[in-house]
Amino acid sequence: MDEQTTNKCSKCGKVNYPTGFFECEETIIMNNENVCFQCAFWISRAKKQDDKRNVVIKSDEGMEVYWLGANLPLTPCGFRGFGGRKFVIKFKNGRALTTTNLWSHGTVPSYSEDLFTVNAEFGKWEDEK
Ligand SMILES: [Zn+2]
């Protein structure tokens, strides 16, 4: 590293990334693995892949990570992912479900795709065929 570099992410190579965050899951990973906040975010999500709420889908945009929120009855004032839009999710292990509470974590940067395994795909509603 040159004299101007105070830190360099061991995952993506970003230099002089911000470090002044309140302590949270990501900052602990940042300190332990010498990575930037964004890489720590994806590492923290990758560590939750065994959770049944984890959804990883390959799309035209890349590898996308979602999280299944609680499938509670619709109420007029509850927060739901994607505004309560219905999704059909077909897991590679045969499990399939519909949800009106899917939350997006975003598209995984290409240099972090190695952390994830695609485990599902979106299905269609019967009336969409
Ligand atoms: Zn990074």
> How many Cα neighbours within 13 Å face the side chain of 65?
23
Q: Is residue 128 part of a domain?
A: no
Encoded amino acid at 56, one letter: V
Query: CA 40, CA 20: separation in Å to the nearest integer?
Result: 14
Domain housing 5 = 1-47
**19 Cα to the center of ligand 1, angstroms:** 12
**18 Cα to the center of ligand 1, angstroms:** 11
Same domain, 13 and 42: yes
pTM, full prediction: 0.84
Q: Is residue 36 part of a domain?
A: yes
Query: CA 95, CA 129: separation in Å to the nearest integer?
Result: 20
**46 Cα to the center of ligand 1, angstroms:** 14
112 in Cβ contact with 42 (< 8 Å):
yes
Same domain, 40 and 95: no
Same domain, 31 and 55: no
Predicted confidence (pLDDT) per residue in 35-76, tens digit: 999 999 999 999 999 999 999 999 998 999 999 998 777 666
Predicted confidence (pLDDT) per residue in 80-90, tens digit: 899 889 999 99
Domain total in the chain: 2
Same domain, 37 and 56: no
Q: Is residue 129 part of a domain?
A: no
**36 Cα to the center of ligand 1, angstroms:** 4
| Average pLDDT over the chain, rounded to an integer | 90
**112 Cα to the center of ligand 1, angstroms:** 9
